[in-house]
A and B are shown apart, each in its own frame.
Chain A
Amino acid sequence: MAINWMDDIAPLFTQYDVIQMKWKFDLSDYNTVKTYAQSILYAVSPNHPNTTSRMPLYEDPWTPEMIDTFQQWMTAGYPYSATSADPPTPPAPDPLVPVFIALSNFLTGFDDLDQNPGLAQTYLTRLRNETAYGAALDALLAELEPNVSNPQALGQQVLGSTAFFVPPVPPATEAQLTDLAQRIVILWYTATIATVPTDPAEQPVYVFGTPQDNQYVSALMWPAAQAHPMGYSTEDFGYWDKPPSGMQWTGLQFYFKP
Chain B
Amino acid sequence: MDSTTVYDAVIVGAGISGALTAWELASNGYKVLVLEAGPAVQNRQFYIDNFYANPNKFPEAPYPGSTQAPAPDVSNLTDGSWSDPKKSYFVYTKDTKIPYGSTYERLAGGTVWHWLGTSLRFMPNDFKLYTNYLSKSGLSNDPGIDWPIGYDDLEQWYEQAERVIGVSADVEDQKYQTGPPYRDGYQYPMPRINPSYLDGVFASVLNGWTITDQDFDPSVPLTVRSTPQARNSVAYDGRPPCMGNTNCVPLCPIAAKYDPSFHLKKAVAAGAVLQTESVAYNVLVDDPSKEHPKITGVEYKRWDGTSGMAVGKVYFIAAHAVETPKLLLMSNQQIGGGVANSSGLVGNFLMDHNTQLSWALMPPGQPVYPYRGPLSTSGIEDLRDGPFRAKRGAFRVEIGNDGWNWPTAAPYSTVKFFSMQKGMYGEQLKNAVADDCSRHFRLAALVEPMPYAGNNVRVTYDYRDGLGLPRPLISYGLQQYESDGLQVARNTALAIFDKLGATDSLQLLGVDMDGGEGNKAYVEACATPAGFFGAGHTMGTNRMGNDPKTSVVDSYARSHDHPNLFLLGCGVFPSVATSNPTLTLTALVLRTADYVLSNWDDVSA
Residues in chain A within 8 A of chain B (CB atoms): 10-11, 14-16, 19, 57-60, 106-110, 155, 181-182, 185-186, 189-190, 192, 203, 205-211, 215-217, 220-222, 224-228, 230-244, 248-253
Write out the residue numbers on chain B whose beta carbons fall within 8 Å of the beta carbon of A236.
243
CB within 8 Å of A: which B37-77 residues? 43-46, 48-49, 51-55, 57
Contact of A109 among B46, B197, B430 (CB under 8 A): B430
CA distance in complex: A109, B434 (Å): 12
B251 & A240 in contact (Cβ 8 Å cutoff):
no
With A211-B52, A233-B245 as contacts: A241 and B430 at CB distance below 8 Å: no
A226 to B431, CA, bound (A): 11
B263 to chain A, nearest CB (A): 13
Out of A14, A108, A208, A226, which one reaches B426, CB within 8 Å? A108
Q: Which 7 A-B pairs have the closest CB atoms?
A: A240-B373, A251-B435, A251-B434, A109-B430, A227-B371, A225-B437, A58-B235
A231 in contact with B51 given A243-B369, A252-B365 (CB within 8 Å): yes
A-B contact pairs, 14 of them (CB 8 A): A15-B45, A59-B238, A109-B425, A208-B54, A216-B53, A222-B371, A224-B411, A224-B437, A226-B434, A227-B411, A237-B194, A240-B374, A250-B434, A250-B439
B195 touches A241 (CB 8 A): yes
Residues of A within 8 A of B302 (CB): none
Tell me the bound Cα distance from A244 to B196 in angstroms.
11
A208 to B50, CA, bound (A): 11
B312 at the interface (CB under 8 A from A): no
Chain B residue numbers with a CB within 8 Å of A227 are 246, 369-372, 411, 437
Give the residue of A15, A207, A225 whose beta carbon is less than 8 angstroms from that of B253. A15
- Contact yes or no, B425 A231, CB < 8 A: no
- Please determine whether B434 and A15 come into contact, CB atoms closer than 8 angstroms: no
Q: Does B98 contact A (CB under 8 A)?
A: no
Given A233-B245, A237-B244, is A225 in contact with B434 using a C-beta cutoff of 8 Å?
A: yes
Question: Which residues from chain A contact B242 at a C-beta distance below 8 Å?
Answer: 237
Cβ contact within 8 Å between A206 and B412:
yes
Least CB distance, B416 to chain A, in whole angstroms: 7
Within 8 A of A (CB), among B364-391: 364-365, 367, 369-374, 377
Q: Does B354 count as interface, using CB distance less than 8 angstroms?
A: no
Q: Which residues of B contact A185 (CB under 8 A)?
A: 415, 419, 425, 429
Known pairs A15-B253, A59-B240, A233-B372. 15 more at Cβ < 8 A? A106-B425, A186-B416, A186-B419, A209-B53, A210-B53, A221-B415, A227-B411, A233-B243, A233-B244, A235-B244, A241-B194, A241-B373, A243-B197, A248-B367, A249-B438
Residue with the greatest number of chain A CB neighbours at <10 A, chosen from B49, B52, B239, B426: B52
| Complex-state Cα separation, A20 to B194, whole angstroms | 20
**Shortest CB distance B266–A (Å):** 10
Q: Which residues of B are in contact with A by a Cβ distance under 8 Å?
A: 43-46, 48-49, 51-55, 57, 79, 194-197, 200, 233, 235, 238-247, 251, 253-255, 364-365, 367, 369-374, 377, 401-403, 405, 411-412, 414-416, 419-420, 425-439
Could you tell me the distance between the alpha carbons of A15 and B251 in the complex, rounded to whole angstroms?
12
A207 proximity list for chain B (CB < 8 A): 55
- Complex Cα–Cα for A177 and B51 (A): 31
Query: In whole Å, how far is B275's beta carbon from the nearest beta carbon of chain A?
Result: 21
The CA-CA distance from A224 to B246 in the complex, in Å, is: 16
Contacts of B401 in A (CB 8 A): 240
Q: Which chain B residue lies CB-closest to A205?
A: B55
Residue of A whose beta carbon sits closest to that of B414: A221
Instruction: Knowing A15-B44, A232-B253, A250-B365 are in contact, say whether A108-B370 is a contact too (CB < 8 A).
Output: no
List residues of chain B with CB within 8 A of the CB of A241. 194-197, 200, 373
Interface core residue of B238, B254, B377, B403 (most chain A CB under 10 Å): B254
Interface of B is mostly: loop
Q: Known: A235-B244, A240-B401, A251-B435. Is A15-B415 also a contact (CB below 8 A)?
A: no
Given contacts A16-B255, A211-B49, A231-B245, contact A240 B194 (CB under 8 A): yes
Q: Are B371 and A233 in contact (CB under 8 A)?
A: no
Known contacts A227-B372, A230-B405; A11 and B43 CB within 8 A of each other:
yes
Contact B415 A186 (CB under 8 A): yes
Q: Are A192 and B55 in contact (CB under 8 A)?
A: yes
On whether the beta carbons of A230 and B402 are closer than 8 Å, the reply is yes
Closest B residue to A188 using CB positions: B415
Once the chains bind, are A57 and B43 in contact (CB under 8 Å)?
no
Q: Which residues of A contact B367 (CB under 8 A)?
A: 243, 248, 250
B52 near A217: Cβ-Cβ < 8 Å: yes
Q: List the A side residues contacting B373 at CB < 8 Å.
A: 239-241
Which of A14, A110, A155, A192 is the one whose CB lies under 8 Å from B44?
A: A14
Minimum C-beta distance from A190 to chain B (A): 5
Q: Which residue of A lies closest to B199 (CB)?
A: A241
Set B233, B374, B425, B438: member contacting A251, Cβ < 8 A: B438
> B438 contacts A250, CB within 8 Å?
yes
Using known A-B contacts A15-B254, A59-B239, determine if residue A231 contacts B438 with beta carbons closer than 8 Å. no
CB distance from B511 to the nearest CB of A (A): 23
Which residues of chain B come closer than 8 Å to A109, judged between CB atoms?
425-431
Q: Which residues from chain A contact B57 at a C-beta distance below 8 Å? A: 230
Q: Are A225 and B371 in contact (CB under 8 A)?
A: yes
Interface centre among A19, A106, A226 (most CB of B within 10 A): A226
A211 touches B53 (CB 8 A): yes
Known contacts A58-B241, A59-B240, A235-B243; is-contact A252 B369 (Cβ 8 Å): no
* Beta-carbon contact of A190 and B52 below 8 Å: no
Closest Cβ–Cβ distance, residue A230 to chain B (whole Å): 5
How many angstroms from the CA of A240 to the CA of B429 in the assembled complex? Answer: 25
Cα–Cα distance between A169 and B434 once the two chains are bound (Å): 32
Tell me, rounded to whole Å, the shortest Cβ–Cβ distance linking B254 to chain A: 4
Contact yes or no, B45 A237, CB < 8 A: no
Of A19, A57, A249, the contact of B243 (CB 8 Å cutoff):
A19
Residue of B whose beta carbon sits closest to that of A106:
B426
A192 to B437, CA, bound (A): 19
Q: Is the CB of B369 within 8 A of A58?
A: no
Question: In the assembled complex, which residues on chain A have CB atoms less than 8 Å from the CB atom of B241?
Answer: 58, 237
Residue of B54, B233, B245, B253 with most partner-chain A CB within 10 A? B245
> Would B52 and A208 count as touching, CB distance under 8 A?
yes
Taking the closest CB of chain B, its distance from the CB of A28, in whole angstroms, is 10
Are B253 and A224 neighbours in the complex by a CB distance under 8 Å? no
Q: B429 is contacted by which of A14, A108, A205, A232 (Cβ under 8 Å)? A: A108
Is B438 a contact of A16 with CB atoms below 8 Å?
no
Give chain B residues whose Cβ lies under 8 Å from the Cβ of A216: 52-53
Task: Name B242's closest neighbour in chain A (CB-CB).
Answer: A237
Q: Which residue of A lies closest to B200 (CB)?
A: A241
- A180 to B299 CA separation, bound complex (whole angstroms): 56
Measured in the bound complex, the distance between the Cα atoms of B241 and A59 in whole Å is 10
What's the minimum C-beta distance from A145 to chain B, rounded to whole angstroms?
20
Inter-chain CA distance A93–B415, complex, in Å, is 30
Q: How far is the CA of A57 from the CA of B254 in the complex (A)?
A: 13
B412 touches A221 (CB 8 A): yes
Q: How far is the CB of A103 from chain B (nearest CB, A)?
A: 11
Distance between Cα atoms of A217 and B247 in the complex (Å): 13
